A and B are shown apart, each in its own frame.
Chain A
């Protein structure tokens, strides 16, 4: 199984009154943020599905952009376009773009829930499916296409046709990573109108521990904590410029000097000299 992701950015956003993909979350477009969260969670290919001619904000270089064949036909059309662009053995987390609090831990949980006998794992809260918070085997594409051919556009019909595992709040929170890092399942909180958008912005960003090493330590102080949505914003707060000489490690793992890297609850950031010569 190869973990992958599909990000649908082409919805109509009627209630929001503005393209959701271009809305910003603490200075970064929703589309860019979610694309990067998905890349981080899966490490695999990422397909961004847009409407034909839709203007897009800058996206990470790894994103492959495809367009909906037919506009305005709901999520199944986008899911089909995304799955078509992926290898046959992929299991893709499919996401909308209006979930700025999406956490990689939830994405990983949903993908791993697609076990050998499962085709789709989909989140459900308050008896409502979240088809754009689910993981789909690329092999369900013929089933999706046949529904589209018959103009049957409701995802629920797809879930009835293939082996679908429903992940309710209890199941999701039984995963210690999810319960620690996203205890209120904010990953599933999609923003539909300006009031949702306002409300989300009034939430405090998580406080993240930061370590600086070597010459980056000021007055010998190596540890602090900062609230920030991206690595660039966090670096600015602690007075560090990310460039070819200074890099950061996220959680002791991924090394980057990309200021657009999204930060999420539970992240630990270490800044150090990129020159490891010794």
Chain B
């Protein structure tokens, strides 16, 4: 047991397990307490480790590119929603930092291997499973697992290794290096940015972990009391939407307020939304609820598909495969979502790339007459071709940015991505804090690292008139996301905190024994965001990468009120300039020496 032992703070092991796949070697490296305190865990710690361990300008799919699992101080405590882990690598889709999160037992078992982080580098000669347990790390042949879905791989490995083992695996799309392939565990995906392809390039089918150590908090009684209180609060109104309908509960409301991206962002309302809405589907199909380990909210709503199999349905997969592709047929959308799960493909990038291709077909830029907006069968065919890198799918597997580069003809102006990452289901023209968050986020167009839509939807400012309040909101929500993703707690819990940063400081103090204050955590958040920017800067980021697709700046969308949702480029420029100033960056988005010094950082 480790309780604040020597220089290792409680709640941590102070250890990184470094696995060299090419050399079949592993070694334990100490993680200094100062580093842990500066970056906490999860996405924050992962960003810093990636910065330190990735060779500059490495090809994300080359053996030298590391992929790092990071755990967090709260994992393993009884705090609700804390069973989460982050996976960090340079994204093959964006070429920049990518940190995706996933939930459940792998987080707990992974941490209890006795490490705060597990780094994989090098590459195997043949398909491999990495096994980490009390005996250290070993590489086993993946054999017949290669080609299976992540879920099938997981069950098979738990049968062969034993049920103590928890598995993260890639599906066939990761093996085929689809640039937005996922890594999954227990049906949940570290979904964005193509981490599955990074593992696939290393010929790693799965990572299996089994617990062999224990970890304790500095003040276990206090943690227990805080956990009880948080659990109570997690049953309140702030989480009702997630408990009762799941995230798909967004769809109809987003449609009503013109923030449901439709037909590749040509519109912001979808006439077929009612057929796809949780309110409708929930009444029509049998479903059950499920949750990640250690969660009292249980936002996962499992629907029955026609063949009797089960499917997790979330807003983002329905939005991307439904309205974004103009498809209103719920059966087709749910089936496309199931196939994405089976191949191990990020549904947002898949939907975004397919919708983009549909528009290219309409405009005569792509010769695939079968691929039409609204055609459910075409959607299913496209998903399959992507998952198998077959036919047109081989091109679409590259993501919308690369497809636009290949097709030319001005298609880059309506390719729905930022930095190569496809846009999520939040219309930037009618959610202008979010527009800024999407433009500047180091990971690309991402709603998890930048939750600025919260401010737009609170009514505290006019969501159609981006200005200084929107800038402040984008910075504040990005900071909060950096913390919650590093501690780690589920974002769906955020509404229960009235003073989030102060309450999080209290949780971290009780677990680690550090005298951490809210001011320290605010600085930690800024440091994490800056570290990601520094990584991107080293990898070739330029100021133009902080921008939105031209379509969003040139084509307003209409609201039911008659008002237009317009985001002129000069308004976005002014918001970005405000953001740079607020973050202590110079006019070109680079941290100033003073900002670096204030956060204990130095230039690449």
Contact = CB atoms under 8 A, between A and B. Distances in A.
Nearest to A246: B237
B463 A276 contact: no
B25 to A, nearest CB: 42
A171 to B, nearest CB: 20
B463 A255 contact: yes
A278 B559 contact: no
Given A214-B252, A255-B459, A270-B257, A276 B453 contact: yes
Interface residues of B, number: 45
A252 B559 contact: yes
Interface size range on A against B: 20 to 34
A218 B464 CA distance: 31
B314 A278 contact: yes
B541 interface: no
Interface string A247-273: 101111111111000000000101011
A135 to B, nearest CB: 19
Nearest to B454: A276
A42 to B, nearest CB: 13
A87 interface: no
B238 interface: yes
A244 to B, nearest CB: 7
Interface in B227-285: 237-238, 240-242, 244-245, 247-250, 252-254, 256-258, 278-279, 283
A256 B247 CA distance: 21
Contacts of A252: 256-258, 559-561
A202 interface: no
B454 A215 contact: no
A183 interface: no
B450 to A, nearest CB: 12
A220 B283 contact: yes
Contacts of A278: 247-248, 250, 314-316, 319, 425, 447
A249 B278 CA distance: 20
A24 B494 CA distance: 39
Interface of chain A, helix or strand or loop or mixed? Answer: loop
A277 to B, nearest CB: 6
A217 interface: yes
Contacts of A222: 252, 279
Interface in A27-60: 43
Given A251-B560, A258-B459, A278-B447, A273 B283 contact: no
Contacts of A214: 241, 244-245, 249-250, 252-253, 278-279
Nearest to A272: B253
Contact of B240 (A213, A220, A245, A253): A245
B492 interface: yes
Nearest to A248: B459
A181 to B, nearest CB: 12
Nearest to A220: B283
A268 B244 contact: no
A275 interface: yes
B256 A211 contact: yes
A1 B457 CA distance: 29
B523 to A, nearest CB: 25
Contacts of A185: none
A43 B462 contact: yes
B491 interface: yes
Given A220-B279, A278-B447, 20 more contacts: A214-B245, A214-B249, A214-B279, A215-B241, A215-B249, A217-B279, A244-B458, A251-B559, A252-B257, A252-B560, A253-B257, A255-B456, A255-B457, A255-B459, A274-B454, A274-B458, A275-B238, A278-B250, A278-B316, A278-B425
30 contacts: A214-B244, A214-B245, A214-B252, A214-B278, A222-B252, A244-B495, A247-B458, A251-B559, A251-B561, A252-B257, A253-B559, A253-B563, A254-B462, A254-B561, A255-B459, A257-B459, A258-B459, A268-B560, A270-B253, A272-B256, A274-B458, A275-B238, A275-B454, A275-B457, A275-B495, A276-B250, A276-B253, A276-B426, A276-B453, A278-B248
Interface of B: 237-238, 240-242, 244-245, 247-250, 252-254, 256-258, 278-279, 283, 314-316, 319, 425-426, 447, 451, 453-454, 456-459, 462-464, 491-492, 494-495, 559-561, 563
Interface of A: 43, 211, 213-215, 217, 220, 222, 243-247, 249-258, 268, 270, 272-278
